[in-house]
């Protein structure tokens, strides 16, 4: 089987990120600013069964926004590279992930078009998970990810009271949905009526 690996090196005045990704699994070694953010990436990559090596630095003296958003962009670019022409994948993947009172649903289409739909109660949207991680960063991460991976992602928080639980359910649901979408299919076809998912 062909290796499905992607890399991204992103350096700006705000962040410095290096990421290596294997869609078919492997070790996970993640170092990013913010303990909660690292916890979320561990959750997503564990349940996505992704192999990943990631180092990220950012202007955290400002806040975590640039770092979280740019890591999402880097993940998306690595996924796009690893998928190549998207031949021989299932294409669609969906998952529900509960965490106590919280319930998230993620639906992915490796459509070749970056599109992100986010449905969450305004009370959660306005909350803070920790004193340096506003809940809005969840959407910022997945917006960058969906855009650069060129995939459609619908992410719905169906229930949730605790912001930590809600965010974690969202990251886990996306990890599982991605694993199902990138799973190898029984043939080597491009799963599209137009014959392409990369143009």
Domains in the chain with CATH codes: 5-182 (3.30.230.40)
Dump pLDDT digits (tens) for 121-152: 999 999 999 999 999 999 999 999 999 999 99
Return d(Cα 46, Cα 86) in angstroms, integer.
22
For residue 169, the SS3 value is helix
Over the range 56-67, which residues count as b (16 or more CB within 10 Å of their CB) and which as e?
Answer: bebbeeeebbbb
The residue among 161, 175, 91, 171 whose CA lies nearest residue 139 is: 171
pTM of the model: 0.96
2 and 89 Cβ atoms separated by less than 8 Å: no
The residue among 54, 113, 123, 127 whose CA lies nearest residue 80 is: 113
**What is the pLDDT at residue 150?**
97
Alpha-carbon torsion (178, 74, 79, 43), positive or negative: negative
Start-end of H helices in the chain: 35-47, 65-83, 122-125, 136-149, 163-182
Return d(Cα 115, Cα 112) in angstroms, integer.
9
Dump pLDDT digits (tens) for 56-106: 999 999 999 999 999 999 999 999 999 999 999 999 999 999 999 999 999
Residue in the block written with tokens 């998928």: 83
Task: Output phi, psi for 36, to 5 deg.
Answer: -70, -40
Percentage of the residues of the chain whose pLDDT score is greater than 90: 90
| Residue 1 in this model has a pLDDT that exceeds 60 | no
The residue among 95, 112, 116 whose CA lies nearest residue 104 is: 95
């Amino acid at each position: 089987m062909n290796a499905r690996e992607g890399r991204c090196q992103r350096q700006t005045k705000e962040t410095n990120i290096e990421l290596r990704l294997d869609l078919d699994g492997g070790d996970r070694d993640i170092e990013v600013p913010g303990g909660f953010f690292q916890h979320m990436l561990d959750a997503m990559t564990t349940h996505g069964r992704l192999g990943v090596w990631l180092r990220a630095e950012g202007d955290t003296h400002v806040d975590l926004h640039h770092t979280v958003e740019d890591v999402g962009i880097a993940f998306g670019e690595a996924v796009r590279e690893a998928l190549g022409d998207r031949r021989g994948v299932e294409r669609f993947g969906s998952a529900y992930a509960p965490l106590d009172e919280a319930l998230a649903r993620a639906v992915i289409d490796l459509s070749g078009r970056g599109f992100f739909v986010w449905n969450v109660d305004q009370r959660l949207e306005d909350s803070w998970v920790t004193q340096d991680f506003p809940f809005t960063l969840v959407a910022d991460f997945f917006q960058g990810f969906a855009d650069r991976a060129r995939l459609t992602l619908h992410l719905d928080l169906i229930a949730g009271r605790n912001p930590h639980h809600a965010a974690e359910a969202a990251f886990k649901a996306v990890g599982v949905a991605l694993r199902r979408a990138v799973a190898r299919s029984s043939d080597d076809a491009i799963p599209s009526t137009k014959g392409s998912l990369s143009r």
